[in-house]
Amino acid sequence: MVLGATQRKILAVLSDGSPKSHRQIVDEAGLTDKVVESALWRLWKSGLILRTDEPLRERDRVFRGRAGIRSNLRSFHLYVLRPEGVNSLEIRSSRFTTYKKLEKRGESKAGVILKFLEENRDRAFYSNELAEALKEKGVKPSDIMTNVRRFERKGLIYVRGYRTHNRQTPFKEGYLLTWIDPNKAREQAIEEAVRRTNKALTEKSSTSPIIERIHLIRDQVIEATKLKDLVSFDFIQNKLDCSFYEAEGGISRTLQLYPDIKEIKLFNNFRYYYHASMSEEDLKAATAMKENYIRMTRGRANRIGHNWEAVVEHFIDSLTTGAKFWTQAHRTKAMDPRRITIHLMKPVGKRKSNAEVDRVWEVTPGPLLRPTTYVLECKWGLVQKRDIDDFFEVLRWSKEFGVDTPEGRQVKQGIVGVFAGSAFNPKESVRLKDETEISLATYAARMNIQLLKASDFNEKLRERGVLKEATAQKICRIARDEKEVREVLEAIWENPGKSEEILARVTEKNRDVYEFEKMLEERK
């Protein structure tokens, strides 16, 4: 047998005599999956290598950002170089055989699966349901999709899951599967298959909360479209009466499942939804109406609030030395990876299962000392006791930063909360159970929460030589957005003597923003 370059590479990888999986061979040979798969089959069939007679199975754990760790059952074979004159081997409780030694059984599992779907052509089945129905015939859950994909490529089975931009993922119960009648016109057969899967999804809604949310979301979007209106994320959350993250998951699944539901972002921040049947003219009119509403209700205060977060983040990033920041993958690239989602053991306020914090970083004072973890929360405006209490509740009831003790739920040792507010009421005091009064700063310190004020950042600017007219508050008010905040701070940090000139230039450039916001305030 004349061996090709790919086969020679694979045999070289297997020359050490140790069994290897397809994935290991791909990594060591530096070849692609499909090339290795094809070459392994030819080598095994020609008798140059041995393969396990039964597939091995292991849990494959993959980190999916905010979705957590996903675990899937992976089936695979091991391959080993065949010694001369040997047709089978026993290595670490696994039996390796040649191609000819595999026993031929009666009806194949693939045939059983295809026959069942053909006989039940008026229904659609989840892959888990199909495995349960055929388990007495020796069909295992891992056999279903392996064989179904072959029939899908032949156009005999319709496979439906959550559809994303570039892939498809299974439902909770697996993929939906149904027969495609080859004797009917292709368009008609696929249309019937889609109707059967729609019916299966509707029937499942009575037992699946996520499916119920999906149908309610779709109904609300279609209703608004008929009224030539857009539906906001907040409206959907209130209608579902669920947490932010439950609404987020429901909308995400709806967009995957129903491509005719569209999302539009206004000002690159506020999400609205509509049905594809809405005309271009009606969409433009509805969009303009929502933009005006956002400007009037969330104009200046919203802009300054986001700018304040950017100021705090800039100083933390720039002045914290030896810090190791936590990062987290998010569903959208627009969200800063240093913004961390934490999991709650019980609801805190309107947060039911998750909450977000602006930054988390660790500082190790010395090689023999334990690291200290800092958790940052920002707020523009007057900070009051209830804000500190809310932040403390999030910390102590979070899975990451809280711990159960004999005295109740507490924040873990080594965790320090940092609350950055643009202003704290110096006259506000906190009355304790013994009737004594303490300041808000003292109250926060007792809970191991440090307060950062705008004056703290202004002091750093003065130390750098920046003129007193340039303050953190002023930068928040004049900058157009968070990106410009960072640009201004970097510019005056490098050229402190020109801070007044830099701020004047930014103010002049953004004059149209201020005038428009003032006009909106007057309209109110």
Q: Residue 296's pLDDT band (boundaries 50, 70, 90)?
A: low
How is residue 171 annotated by DSSP? B
Query: Closest Cα to residue 162, out of 82, 258, 75, 95?
Result: 258
Give the pair of three-digit tokens for residue 126.
Answer: 């989840």
Tokens 């923003």 belong to 513
> What pLDDT is stored for residue 200 in this prediction?
84
CA dist 456 and 468 (Å) reads 13
CA dist 152 and 32 (Å) reads 23
pTM confidence score: 0.45
Residue 300 — φ and ψ, nearest 5°? -65, -45
* CATH 1.10.10.10 for domain 5-97: yes
CA dist 51 and 82 (Å) reads 9
How is residue 451 annotated by DSSP? E
Tokens 């059984």 belong to 105
* Cβ neighbours for 227, distance < 8 A, ≥ 6 positions apart: none
pLDDT of 88-120, one tens digit each? 888 888 889 988 644 445 568 888 999 999 999
> What pLDDT is stored for residue 524 in this prediction?
43
Q: What is the mean pLDDT of the chain?
A: 84
Handedness of CA 498, 301, 351, 204 (dihedral sign): negative
CB atoms < 10 A from the CB of 344, how many?
A: 19
pLDDT of 193-233, one tens digit each? 989 988 887 776 544 677 778 888 988 999 899 989 999 99
Q: Residue 332's pLDDT band (boundaries 50, 70, 90)?
A: low
- Contact (CB, 8 A) for 216 and 223: no
Q: Which residue has the higher pLDDT, 64 or 401?
A: 401
pLDDT of 146-158, one tens digit each? 889 989 988 899 9
Give the pair of three-digit tokens for residue 356.
Answer: 């977000």
CA dist 373 and 323 (Å) reads 9
> What pLDDT is stored for residue 432 in this prediction?
78
Architecture of domain 209-298: Orthogonal Bundle (1.10)
Q: How far is CA 327 from CA 61, 68, 219, 364, 399, in A?
A: 19, 14, 37, 18, 17
Strands 415-424 and 449-453: parallel
Q: How far is CA 69 from CA 64, 92, 333, 342, 463, in A?
A: 6, 30, 19, 14, 46
CA dist 108 and 46 (Å) reads 23
Per-residue pLDDT for 257 more than 80?
yes
Helix (H, G, I), strand (E, B) or coil at 409: strand
Query: Closest Cα to residue 482, out of 355, 380, 375?
Result: 380
Q: Hey, what's the torsion of the CAs at 243, 249, 252, 253, to 10 degrees?
A: -130
Query: Closest Cα to residue 471, out of 490, 450, 456?
Result: 456
Per-residue pLDDT for 333 more than 70?
no
Handedness of CA 27, 30, 31, 32 (dihedral sign): positive
- Contact (CB, 8 A) for 232 and 293: no
Helix (H, G, I), strand (E, B) or coil at 168: strand
Q: Hey, what's the torsion of the CAs at 283, 286, 289, 293, to 10 degrees?
A: -110
Architecture of domain 109-204: Orthogonal Bundle (1.10)
Query: Quick one: residue 448, left, alpha or beta (phi over 0 = left, psi -120 to 50 = alpha)?
Result: left
Q: Where in the chain is the domain with CATH 1.10.10.10?
A: 5-97, 109-204
Q: How far is CA 187 from CA 4, 184, 197, in A?
A: 43, 8, 16
* Cβ neighbours for 464, distance < 8 A, ≥ 6 positions apart: 493, 496
> What pLDDT is stored for residue 304 in this prediction?
82
Strands 372-383 and 415-424: parallel
Per-residue pLDDT for 168 more than 70?
yes
- Contact (CB, 8 A) for 480 and 471: no
Long-range contacts of 236-242 (CB under 8 A, 24+ apart): 236/273, 240/213, 240/216, 242/213, 242/352
CB atoms < 10 A from the CB of 202, how many?
A: 11
Give the pair of three-digit tokens for residue 129.
Answer: 């349901």
Residue 224 — φ and ψ, nearest 5°? -65, -40
CA dist 373 and 402 (Å) reads 12
- Contact (CB, 8 A) for 428 and 434: no
Handedness of CA 460, 461, 467, 473 (dihedral sign): negative
> What pLDDT is stored for residue 398 in this prediction?
94
Handedness of CA 367, 370, 375, 381 (dihedral sign): negative
